[in-house]
Amino acid sequence: MVRGAENTICIDMTMYLVHYIVMLMVNIHDAKAHLSEYLNRLEHEGEIVLCKRNQPVAVIRPVAAPARSRAIGLEREQFTVPEAFFEALPEDLLSLYDGHGS
């Protein structure tokens, strides 16, 4: 066996252990019975693997929080709406909205 291959096997085994043993694995029946408890644990666990007959079928992960909230009216002083915006649309364009014309 090549020396590098031993390291690769060791790393693969470590990744397997970290991925499948450290994370919380829950059967679907148990998850349905204790859903709120598992959702509370989700922020500490990182992800929960749902299993059907002890076989992984899905992963539950927390939704990332938005980076920041957007303030309303940031462009208020820099953007103006022209008066033509409020004028009635031409009849030919209105007929397209009504489904008449082509």
Q: Is the pLDDT of residue 18 over 70?
A: no
pLDDT at 101 over 70: no
Tell me the C-alpha distance between 97 and 91, whole Å.
10
Residue type at 13?
A: M
The average confidence (pLDDT) of the chain is: 78
pLDDT the model gives residue 80: 81
pLDDT of residue 33: 93
pLDDT in tens, 48-76: 889 998 888 999 888 887 777 777 777 77
- pLDDT confidence of residue 52: 92
- What is d(CA 71, CA 85) in angstroms, rounded to the nearest whole number? 25
CA neighbor of 24 nearest in space, from 41, 52, 49: 49
- The pTM assigned to this predicted structure is 0.45
Report whether pLDDT(19) > 60: no
- Listed by start position, the domains of the chain span 3-60
Which two three-digit tokens encode residue 90? 């031409």
Q: Assign domain 3-60 one CATH number from 3.40.1620.10, 1.10.1040.10, 1.20.120.420, 3.40.50.620.
A: 3.40.1620.10
